[in-house]
C-alpha cells in the first residue's frame, strides 16, 4: 500500500523523494498502530503466561520478531530501494556507438 500511494503521488507530478517522504508520512501511523497492537496482544503469550505456554511461547516470539522486522522493512528498506531503483530507471540509456 505504501508503494501504491507513492506511485499515486508520482502520477500527480511529485518527484520521487518528495513522494516517498509524503507517502511514508501518511502511512506511518496505520503501519505502526497495526504492528504495535499485534505485538502488545502477543506479549503475554511470549512471556509464557498461562497454561500451555511451552507450546505457544516460541510461536509468539517468532511472530513478534517477524512483525518488528517487516515493519522496519516497510518503513525503511522499501522506500530506500524505491529511490535507488528510481534513479536507475530515470538514467538515460547510453547512446549506441557507430
3-state secondary structure of 62: helix
- Each residue's pLDDT tens digit, 22-34: 999 999 999 999 9
The whole-model pTM stands at 0.75
* pLDDT of 93 over the 80 cut: no
3-state secondary structure of 48: coil
Eight-class DSSP state of 12: T
Amino acid at each position: 500500500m505504501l508503494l501504491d500511494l507513492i506511485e499515486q503521488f508520482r502520477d500527480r507530478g511529485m518527484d520521487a523523494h518528495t513522494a516517498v517522504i509524503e507517502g511514508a508520512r501518511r502511512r506511518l501511523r496505520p503501519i505502526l498502530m497495526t504492528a504495535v497492537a499485534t505485538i502488545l496482544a502477543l506479549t503475554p503469550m511470549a512471556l509464557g503466561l498461562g497454561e500451555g505456554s511451552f507450546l505457544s511461547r516460541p510461536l509468539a516470539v517468532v511472530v513478534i520478531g517477524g512483525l518488528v522486522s517487516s515493519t522496519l522493512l516497510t518503513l525503511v528498506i522499501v522506500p530506500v530501494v524505491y529511490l535507488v531503483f528510481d534513479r536507475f530507471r530515470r538514467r538515460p540509456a547510453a547512446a549506441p556507438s557507430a
